[in-house]
Amino acid sequence: MAGGCGPVERSSWSNAEKGLQASMRYLPWYAAGAAIVAAFVTHLLVPVVIRLAVYLRAVDQPGVRKLHESAVPRLGGVAIMGGLGIAAGFAALGHWTTWAARISSRELLALVAGTLLVFLLGVVDDLRGVGSGAKFLVELAAAALLVGAGWSFGVLRLPFAGGIDLGIWGPVVSLLWIVGVTNAINLIDGLDGLAAGISTIADTWIHVSYVVQDGERNRALTIVKSRGTGHSNQVRELELSDQGVTLTDVFIAQGKVLMGVARWEWEQQERAAKKRNQVATVLKRLQLQLAQAEAAARLQVVQTEMEARSSEISVLTHATGSASKLMATDREVLRKMRHADKEVGVARPRKAKVAAPKNGDGAAV
């Protein structure tokens, strides 16, 4: 039947559809494997590309809007392109028979040609520099190859608006879309790390949900995946206010994460307990200061008493010495008044000698 499909063609098309649906279920695993291969190959190519860039003097010199202080090799896209090309090649060869039913050779050649064209443009830009006008023309040519081969869409789907039929404007919007997305990263890459940061934000998966706790519903946010950052299993409370969107810190109490009123009540209890502890600390400090002042006062009294006793002892000692000197002075005055000899000591009275009686012969009896 003219213009129709025969039973064999419909059967082959149905088998291809079934094979495609079966392969789509394993697509995340294929993508993860391809990403690992791409990262590994890129890691191996980076040292080689660095030496090549230094040899060709394709280096980026320091500048006002750049963070590096010394020359940095260019041509990093060569290593990335090598890793992506090898990983994509292995993934395509693994399911070529299934994907070939959906992608024609013309579309595949246009995709490869457009990719290589933009890649070569980047290499020339790193080596010699290319103006913005020339870059835009080459990007338009690469996008035209893709759109001309069939890489375009006719329906634009927007959130809350459904699908918009573009009609004859489908190829034009597709062309502008490809060029715009290409330059979305290229035009912001004027500062080190900016393109990587924007790409990471674009590659972040956020899950927003409601958490029902103690009869209350609260908004919660979880970062499911974010490129280049550590993954977290924490659920953060999301607050909407006049100042915008605020992510509160994770508050753990009673062995669980508290949100909303339960969190507020627990925080109030902690603030009250902290206030009581502060008041108790101030009172304890005042008591210690009072006890210290009392001890200092008692010590001052003891020191005063010791100084008074020391003064008394000094007075007594001085008075005793003065009395002794006065008695000696008085004795000397009396001696002079009596014209007495100088006292050397107390004189003892001498005993008179008595002669012994003698007999007639003159011998002592």
213 phi, psi to nearest 5 deg: -145, 125
Torsion angle, alpha carbons of 151, 152, 155, 160, to 10? 80
User: What confidence category does residue 58 fall into, taking pLDDT thresholds of 50, 70 and 90?
Assistant: confident
Q: Are 58 and 74 in contact (CB under 8 A)?
A: yes
Q: What is the pLDDT of residues 246-298, one digit of tens each?
A: 777 777 777 777 777 777 888 888 889 999 999 999 999 999 999 999 999 99
Using DSSP's 3-state secondary structure scheme, residue 257 falls into strand
* Domains of the chain by residue range: 1-102, 107-202, 205-250, 261-322
- Distance between CA atoms of 77 and 123, rounded to whole angstroms? 8
pTM of the entire predicted model: 0.49
pLDDT, tens digit (0-9, with 9 covering 90-100), for 155-165: 877 766 677 78
Determine what percent of the chain falls in helix, strand and coil, rounding each to the nearest 5. Answer: 60, 15, 25
pLDDT at 326: 76
Determine the length of the chain.
365
**HEC-encoded secondary structure of 268-318:** HHHHHHHHHHHHHHHHHHHHHHHHHHHHHHHHHHHHHHHHHHHHHHHHHHH
pLDDT value of residue 25:
63
Query: What's the burial of 148, exposed, middle or buried (CB within 10 Å: 0-12/13-18/19+)?
Result: middle
Given a contact cutoff of 8 angstroms between Cβ atoms, the answer to whether 126 and 81 are in contact is: no
Element (H, E) at 94: helix 76-94
Q: Which long-range contacts (CB under 8 A, 24 or more apart) does 63-69 make?
A: 65/190, 65/191, 66/191, 66/192, 67/191, 67/192, 67/193, 68/192
CA distances from 202 to 188, 228, 244 (A): 14, 12, 20
**Cα 111 to Cα 58: distance, rounded to the nearest angstrom:** 28
